[in-house]
Amino acid sequence: GALVYQYPRRTICKSGTSMRMECQAVGFQATSVAWYRQSPQKTFELIALSTVNSAIKYEQNFTQEKFPISHPNLSFSSMTVLNAYLEDRGLYLCGARDPGKDTQYFGPGTRLLVL
């Protein structure tokens, strides 16, 4: 079946440092990958959408300079949180879309804690 893995599951970083997280789709070819953030007491907020062979589209309030994304093939994507501060803490979800089933599958998330 279709699965999405994320690594690491939990991480702690010092304020001002950077953290890279990975997303792996298994069992299907993900034509697009979406990165979401759930801040404390909030819902999932889209950071950016990445489609293979197309430019990555960032949502308002999120930039490539802060959240650079790599999407080199149909099964893998990574995102880095640069210069992380307290407001960047939360659960970062990766959603990979299987076009054959027109469904977005989510990973379990990477929980980021910033000290």
Cβ closest to another protein, residue 46 vs residue 82 = 46
Minimum distance from residue 83 beta carbon to another protein (Å): 26
Residues 50-109 that bind another protein (CB under 8 A): 51, 57, 93, 95, 97, 99, 102-109
Residues 17-46 that bind another protein (CB under 8 A): 31-32, 34, 36, 42-46
Q: What angle do CA 90, 18, 4 make, to 5 degrees?
A: 55
Where does this chain bind another protein (CB under 8 A)?
A: 4, 31-32, 34, 36, 42-46, 49, 51, 57, 93, 95, 97, 99, 102-109
